[in-house]
Amino acid sequence: MIYTRFIGTGSYLPEKILTNHDLEKMVDIDTSDQWIRERTGIAKRHIAADDETTCDLAEHAARAALDAAGKKAADIDLLVLATTTPDKIFPSTACLLQSRLGMKNHPAFDVQAVCSGFVYAVSIAEKFIRSGSHQRALVVGAETFSRLIDWTDRSTCVLFGDGAGAVVLEASTEPGIHSTHLHADGAYEELLHVPGGVSLGFDIEGDNINDPHYTHMRGNEVFKVAVNTLGQIVEETLVANQLQKSDIDWLVPHQANTRIIDATARKLNMSKDRVVVTVDQHANTSAASIPLALDVAVRDGRIKRGEKVLLEAFGGGFTWGSVLFTY
Ligand code: COA
C-alpha cells in the first residue's frame, strides 16, 4: 500500500498589516474593532504590496516547505497550486512558480475551488502519489484575495487577507493520509461570488451588484450553510475511517471566522486547545488559510509525528472537503 506523508510545511504573510482600526477609517458605513472581533475573531490581516503577486507569496511558502522537508526543487515531480487569484489568466500560477523554483518537465497546474482549494489540491496530489505515478508533490495554497475586495464594503472587507502556505507530500509505506473527501454544490453560486469574469465580462447588472470585479456575499446565509456542511464532512470522515471523535488529535479548519470554527469544534467535542486557530492574525486567506495554520502548529511543536490531524474546508461554489492524516 502506498501512503502519502506530509514531510514539510511552509508559509508566508506579506509585510503590510491592516488592522481593524485601519478599516474603521476606510469603510463606507461604520464598523469597529469591537464588532469585527466579536463577529469574526479577526484582529488584523496582511495585504500584498502593489508589486507583489500570488506567485511571489507562493514562492516564499514553497521554499520554506522544501527547506523544512530537507528537499530540493529537483526532488519534486508534481506541483499543484490552489488559488482564486492567479497572477495571470494564463499560464497558471503553478507554471510560473515551477519556473521560479528552477523546475522543469513535471506536471504543474492550478486548482480553483476558492477557500477549499488547498484541500482539493492535497486530495488530487494524494491520488497521483497513491497511484504510483509520482513520488513527491509540492502543494501550495496562495492568494492575493485583497484584489477581489471592495475596501469600502464593510460586509466583506473585514473578513479577508493575503497569504500563502505550502506542503511537501511524499510516497511512503507508513500512513500518511487516511482519506480525503471532496464535495461541491453549484446551486449556491449567488451566496458567495465575484459576479464578473473573463468569459462573462464585467458589464453585469443585478440586485446587490455594485461592482462585478469584487466579492459579493450574503454572509448570514453563508454562515449557516458553512456550519452545517462542516459538521457533515467531519462525520463523513470519521465514519469512513471507523474512528471516534476522540481519536482526532488536531483539527486544522479553514480560517474564515472563529464562530464557524467554534461551532465545528463543538460538534467534534474538541476542546479549544486541540483546534488550530490563526484567523485572528491574518483573516480569511482563502486557499492559503489551512496550510498557513498547519505550518504554524507544526513549527511551534503542537502537532507531533504520529498524531491524527483533520483538515476541513468550506468555500465559494459551494465547495467543501476534508483530509485526515497521521502526521
Ligand atoms: N461592521 C459593523 N456592522 C456590520 C458589518 C461590519 N463590518 N458588517 C455587517 N454589519 C451589520 C449588518 O449591516 C447588519 O446590520 P442591520 O442589522 O442594521 O441590518 C448587522 O451588522 C448584522 O448583520 P449580519 O450579516 O446578520 O451579521 P452576522 O452576525 O451574520 O455577521 C458575518 C456577519 C459576515 C461576520 C457573518 O455572517 C459571517 O461570518 N458569515 C460567513 C462569512 C464567511 O466566512 N465567508 C467565507 C466563507 S469561505
Q: pLDDT digits over 182-218, tens only?
A: 999 999 999 999 999 999 999 988 777 789 999 999 9
Confidence at residue 205, expressed as pLDDT on a 0 to 100 scale? 80
Ligand 1 centroid to Cα of residue 274, in Å, is 27
Question: Could you confirm whether 220 is annotated as catalytic?
Answer: no
Determine the angle formed by the axes of helices 117-130 and 289-299, rounding to 10 degrees. 70
- Alpha helix stretches (DSSP H) within 184-257: 219-240
Which residue is listed with cell 503590510? Answer: 16
Q: What is the pLDDT along the chain (327 residues), one digit of tens a residue?
A: 999 999 999 999 999 999 999 999 988 789 999 999 999 999 999 999 999 999 999 999 999 999 999 999 999 999 999 999 999 999 999 999 999 999 999 999 999 999 999 999 999 999 999 999 999 999 999 999 999 999 999 999 999 999 999 999 999 999 999 999 999 999 999 999 999 999 999 998 877 778 999 999 999 999 999 999 999 999 999 999 999 999 999 999 999 999 999 999 998 889 999 999 999 999 999 999 999 999 999 999 999 999 999 999 999 999 999 999 999
Set 60, 115, 134, 257: catalytic member: 115
- For residue 52, count other CB atoms closer than 10 A to its CB: 16
Q: Which residues contact 32 (CB under 8 A, 6 or more apart)?
A: 20, 24
Q: Can you state the percent helix, strand and coil of the chain, rounding each to 5?
A: 40, 25, 35
pLDDT at 28: 78
Pocket flag, ligand 1, residue 39 (CB < 6 Å): yes
Q: Running DSSP on this structure, what letter comes out for residue 211?
A: -
Per-residue pLDDT at 316? 98
Q: Report CA 40 to chain centroid distance, whole Å.
A: 17
Residue 108 Cβ < 6 Å to ligand 1 = no
* Residues linked to residue 19 through DSSP beta bridges, in sequence order: 44
Angular region, 135: left φ>0, alpha ψ -120 to 50, beta rest: alpha
d(CA 203, CA 205): 7
SS3 sequence of 144-200: EHHHHCCCCCHHHHCCECEEEEEEEEEEECCCCEEEEEEEECHHHHHHEECCCECCC
CA distance 12 to 226: 26
Nearest CA, atom 23, ligand 1:
220
pLDDT of residue 206: 77
**Count of CA atoms in the C-beta half-sphere (13 A) of 64:** 21
> Contact, 58 vs 167, CB < 8 A?
no
Q: What pTM value is reported for the model?
A: 0.97
Measured in degrees and rounded to the nearest 5, phi and psi for residue 47 equal -125, 130
Domain architecture of the chain: domains with CATH: 3-174 (3.40.47.10), 179-326 (3.40.47.10)
**Of 248, 209, 283, 303, nearest in space to 13 by CA:** 283
Whether 115 is in the pocket of ligand 1, judged by its Cβ within 6 Å, is: yes
Q: Checking DSSP bridges between strand 136-144 and strand 162-172, what pairing results, if any?
A: antiparallel
257 is catalytic: no
Q: How far is the CA of 212 from the centre of ligand 1 (A)?
A: 20
